Amino acid sequence: MFSSPKLRHENGPTTTSKPESKPITGTEIEAEFSHHDLTVARINNGSFGSCPLSIISAQQQWQLQFLKQPDYFYFNTFKPSMLKSRILIQSLVNTEDVDEISIVDNATTAAAIVLQHVTWSFFTSNFQPGDAAVMLHYAYGSVKKSVQAYVARAGGKVIEVQLPFPLLSNEEIITEFDKALKMGKINGGKIRLAVIDHITSMPSVVIPVKELVKMCRDEGVDIIFVDGAHAIGNVEVDVGDIGADFYTSNLHKWFFSPPSAAFLYCKKSDKVLDLHHPVVSIEYGNGLPIESAWIGTRDYSAQLVIPEVLEFVNRFEGGIEGIRRRNHDKVVEMAEMLVKAWGTKLGTPPEMCSSMAMVGMPACLGISSDSDALKLRTHLRVLFKVEVPIYYRAALEEEVNPITGYARISHQVYNTIEDYYRFRDAIIKLANDGFKLGRGDQAGHGAASNFRGHDP
């Protein structure tokens, strides 16, 4: 166990109370993000997040404090400071015990911890070959591959919930999830694991996680893991209310932390008794929070700077709740402006958007594959300095002039209306110029013709 919190080394960041800061101004927000490339309309906070200059400065102080006297830092400062970060996260996401919170590098690491545990359940015969894992077809690519690497290789059967897109309501998600649960129980089958996204990445949709978790409980699913990679700072996160066994969220996407930092919540139960970090260190066997806190000599500053991040977000009216509410309202406003200008439609109703929204793009652009979507994304970046992910959605047979391309736009506190106007005008120009994907090297002058990737 970590010791009780103490004051940090006198020459490092301090934990003493400070006078209450004045509410942040527009000019101060601009200054905090002045390190961004100001020539780019960056409407893609969802991929990599954003860290303000004041937090970068605080992070550097942590780094220097370690380098100044590593031994003192390790023995006197590190553990109580990491505990303080965990306590703050505990208060943000409503857990009963700080020992239910571990800090890890990212949601992918958290998934590896949970899925490694599932693998051992197959190896110890608690689970049997052919037992099923259920996950969304929309699940993030690295998590889907992790399920293959850990669960499928151990003998588990993977069932993907096929969700439609565009979506009109939560009922469509609930119906398809129910079908998958029933499929997993055919002929006496057992569903051992459910992986549920809180906010899917591409396409971006807020999933009714509480309802799906309850459905899993009612059906006797053994382990429920919610991947909330985009969640904290974007939607309300109350892990006690959600009720899953495990929940993870990145702190560097929508919570202004430097990369890389995330938390993994593990509900106290028999399931977590043999949970371990994939990197085995000297702390092995001391409990997951302690194992995760120290995985050998590395830079832990992104995880230790959480108190300063919380001070930053609390400078905004309403704190993190106020930020996410305003971001949601603004992204919906900008999305509706774009679909009106382009004569298209949203991929989901506004209530299924977070601080990200899926915006239909003109059918005349001719997006007919994932490769086309990447080409258009590169074209927008290179020629128009607009950074935005594009999602390809295959047309149904009966559709006439279908929308096959959707842009995932984000809104964070640094964005301005001009960012979205630039995107709007770029697409209008392409449409008016007769631009169409699939015509030689027209998209990005061939810059993306051989590129394959996956949006973070």
pLDDT in tens, 295-345: 999 999 999 999 999 999 999 999 999 999 999 999 999 999 999 999 999
pLDDT tens digits for range 212-248: 999 999 999 999 999 999 999 999 999 999 999 999 9
Taking alpha carbons only, the member of 427, 383, 391, 443 closest to residue 40 is: 383
Distinct helix (H) and strand (E) counts, the chain: 16, 12
Give the amino acid at 34. Answer: S
Residue 277: the pLDDT is 93
> Within 13 A of 332's CA, how many CA atoms are on the CB side?
14
Dist CA 242 CA 21 (whole Å): 33
Element (H, E) at 343: none
CA-to-CA distance for 24 and 91, rounded, in angstroms?
23
Q: What is the Cα–Cα distance from 225 to 140, expressed in whole angstroms?
A: 13
State the angle between helix axes of 209-218 and 170-184 in degrees (0 to 180), rounded to the nearest 10.
20
What pLDDT does residue 448 have? 36
Residue 213: CB partners within 8 Å, gap ≥ 6? Answer: 196, 224, 226, 242, 243, 244
Cα–Cα distance measured from residue 105 to residue 229, given in angstroms and rounded to the nearest whole number:
12
Question: Distance between CA atoms of 257 and 306, rounded to whole angstroms?
Answer: 7
**With 0-12 CB in 10 A as exposed, 13-18 as middle and 19+ as buried, what is 152?**
middle
Q: Which H/E stretch holds residue 135? A: strand 132-136
Q: What is the pLDDT of residue 230?
A: 96
Joined tokens for residue 272: 């977590």
The answer to whether 34 and 56 are in contact (CB under 8 A) is: no
- Sheet with 405-410, strands from edge to edge, namely 356-360, 405-410, 390-392
Predicted pLDDT at 122: 87
Q: If you compute the radius of gyration of the chain from its CA atoms, what whole number of angstroms results?
A: 23
pLDDT of residue 123: 85
CA 46-51-52 angle, to 5 degrees, is: 135
User: What pTM value is reported for the model?
Assistant: 0.90
Please say whether the beta carbons of 366 and 409 come within 8 A.
Answer: no
pLDDT of residue 432: 95
- Give the model's pLDDT for residue 396: 86
Rounded-to-10 torsion of CA 359, 262, 198, 390: 20
What does the pLDDT read at residue 399? 80
Letter string b/e over residues 253-282, b meaning 16 or more CB atoms within 10 A of that residue's CB: bbbbbbebbbbbbbbeeebbeebbbebeee
Q: Nearest 5 degrees, angle CA 121-CA 124-CA 126?
A: 55
The domains found in the chain, sorted by start residue, are 66-312 (3.40.640.10), 319-433 (3.90.1150.10)
Report, as ranges of residue numbers, the positions in the chain whose pLDDT lies below 50.
1-12, 14-17, 440-454
